[in-house]
Amino acid sequence: MDIHEYQAKEILASFGVDVPPGALAYSPEQAAYRARELGGDRWVVKAQVHAGGRGKAGGVKVCDSDVEIHKTCEGLFGRKLVTHQTGPEGKGIYRVYVEGAVPIEREIYLGFVLDRTSQRVMIVASAEGGMEIEDISADKPDSIVRDTVEPAVGLQDFQCRQIAFKLGIDPALTQRMVRTLQGCYRAFREYDATMVEVNPLVVTGDNRILALDAKMTFDDNALFRHPQISELRDKSQEDPRESRAADRGLSYVGLDGNIGCIVNGAGLAMATMDTIKLAGGEPANFLDIGGGATPERVAKAFRLVLSDKSVQAILVNIFAGINRCDWVAEGVVQALREVQVDVPVIVRLAGTNVEEGQKILAQSGLPIIRATTLMEAAERAVGAWQNDLSQNTKVRLAT
């Protein structure tokens, strides 16, 4: 789960990381009022969307008066901000963050991520801040500083000092850098984050170290332990299909293809998508219904997949271990009887109670295409989609 910049800054500030003074606004009038509250003679207005690259896309503006802030916000609110991370559909702007401008001496990149190779929290830093880490890695790989945290003892002060030295931090500011690094790590650890990124972390002309921008991503599976973090979720920034799936306890990722997938198990779902592509098709989604594939859960999955108007065939691929094929078959039949399904449905079942499951499908009287292997299921799904597409084309030509 992602959160907004201002929310990430509030969390980091609670762990001792210094951030510039700022305030949230939901309208141009409120933004201008916030600037007068903050005081000063220069402010930065930032669109709050879950995406990087806001500055290049026009989502970050420097303003010299409250009148300019009002005019800037009128052009931001209700607009779709399109960046290299959002795709062409963009993200809607419904709130902005007004922040006092600070005198920047230098910029630093700082990130905390989970390194699955070392199974440790890795600190990634660079003296070349203000750029995406991918760009830094490509253009100036030697500027990147990496260190891992030993989970038994946590981040140590000597590690923080070493990072500060490698980044060329003024010795007089070393202790402030140590406090910043420790604060970011504690926020990462305490709230089960998967990423904390401060870019840029700036050194100001009056010798402060401030988090000028911040991103945090959290492990969805650990949110039950942190209700205060769950409350920060902004569904307006999410794919509505993925949001609906999360509300129903399903793991869903929308893709650009036309063959919907309903699978149990993340590994099997990945294999199913690969096999569909191998057969000449394009998967429309990743959907893992998990271990408890009850009839009700399968029916929910069907409704979710069919909510994507680009889906022109559905492939159900179940390998039952914890699950039971007869449960899944009952769910497929229930879904097809309750939900209007106008696309071909291909079902492949294997594992526990597979004979019972196949019998339920066969006796349902529904137009279900059955398969025994994954490759056969993928080929039949692609064939059914192509046949359906060909028939629709003929109908359009005839009319």
Residue of 128, 197, 242, 330 marked active site:
197
Q: Is 356 a catalytic residue?
A: no
Angle at 267 (CA atoms; ends 366, 52), nearest 5 degrees: 110
Residue identified by tokens 């402010």 is 43
Residue of 5, 6, 97, 109 marked active site:
109
DSSP conformational letter for 79: P
317 carries a ligand binding annotation:
no
In this structure, what token pair is assigned to residue 230? 């769950």
User: Which residues, 6+ apart, have CB-to-CB distance to 238 below 8 Å?
Assistant: 50
The pairing of strands 313-320 and 259-263 is parallel
Separation between Cα atoms, residue 47 and residue 76, nearest integer Å: 7
Contact yes or no for 60/54 (Cβ under 8 A): yes
Contact yes or no for 283/255 (Cβ under 8 A): yes
53 carries a ligand binding annotation:
yes
Q: 259: exposed, middle or buried (C-beta count within 10 Å: 0-12, 13-18, 19+)?
A: buried
In this structure, what token pair is assigned to residue 202? 């700036």
Q: What is the CA radius of gyration of the chain?
A: 26
Separation between Cα atoms, residue 359 and residue 349, nearest integer Å: 11
Contact yes or no for 263/289 (Cβ under 8 A): yes
198 carries a ligand binding annotation:
no
Burial 119-130, CB ≥16 within 10 A → b, else e: eebbbbbbbbbb
What sign does the dihedral 320-291-3-27 (CA atoms) show?
positive
213 carries a ligand binding annotation:
yes
99 carries a ligand binding annotation:
yes
Q: Is 29 a catalytic residue?
A: no
User: Which residues, 6+ apart, have CB-to-CB distance to 387 below 8 Å?
Assistant: 344
Separation between Cα atoms, residue 69 and residue 131, nearest integer Å: 26
What sign does the dihedral 52-58-64-70 (CA atoms) show?
negative
Separation between Cα atoms, residue 238 and residue 1, nearest integer Å: 9
387 carries a ligand binding annotation:
no
Longest Cα–Cα distance of the chain, Å, equals 80
Angle subtended by helix axes 354-363 and 325-338, to nearest 10: 20
Give the total residue count for the chain.
Answer: 399
Catalogue the active-site residues: 109, 197
Binding annotation: 46, 53-55, 99, 102, 107, 199, 213, 264
Binding annotation for Mg(2+): 199, 213
Binding annotation for ATP: 46, 53-55, 99, 102, 107
